[in-house]
Amino acid sequence: MTSRHLTDYEHADAQVRAVYDDIKQTRQVDDVNNFWKCLAAHPATLERTWQSIKQTMAPGALDALTKELIYVAVSVTNNCPYCIASHTAAARRAGMTDEMFGELQAVIGMANETNRLANGYRVPLDEAFKQP
């Protein structure tokens, strides 16, 4: 088995199928993404990761679109090609327009620029930002 063996539904055991079924029902999709088919190689990680994602990405104080924008921001900053592709698609499904996409990238870019300016200039923390 290579490190990226994909486990399809028909070859999955009962534990993996239960997770796939929950993903498909929760997201209203016909099949799960390759990400989950790879994780199926270690069922405990598949199940734990799905439960964490399901809980974390459910609408709460932040709506689903905002959460996807945050997800894209992290994935772009880490340069994870798979996650950029899959969560940009998820953000579009959640309602991201072209204009929102453009502003999202602009903010991500500026944050990465000023993060390095703050580091490089070794900016001392303002008193107002210190915590007791």
Q: Which of residues 72-101 bind a second copy (CB under 8 A)?
A: 72-89, 97-101
Q: Which residue among 1, 14, 25, 28 contacts a second copy (CB under 8 A)?
A: 1
CA distance 2 to 72: 28
Q: Provide DSSP, 54-92.
A: HHHHS-SSS-HHHHHHHHHHHHHHHT-HHHHHHHHHHHH
Q: Which residue among 4, 10, 14, 28 contacts a second copy (CB under 8 A)?
A: 4
**Of residues 19-78, which lie at the interface with a second copy (CB under 8 A)?**
33-35, 38-39, 41-42, 44-45, 48-49, 51-53, 55-57, 60-62, 66-67, 69-78
Asked if 113 is part of the footprint of a second copy (rule: CB under 8 A), the reply reads: yes
How would you class 115 by CB atoms within 10 Å of its CB: exposed for 0-12, middle for 13-18, buried for 19 or more? exposed
Q: Tell me the closest approach of the beta carbon of residue 56 to a second copy, in angstroms.
A: 5
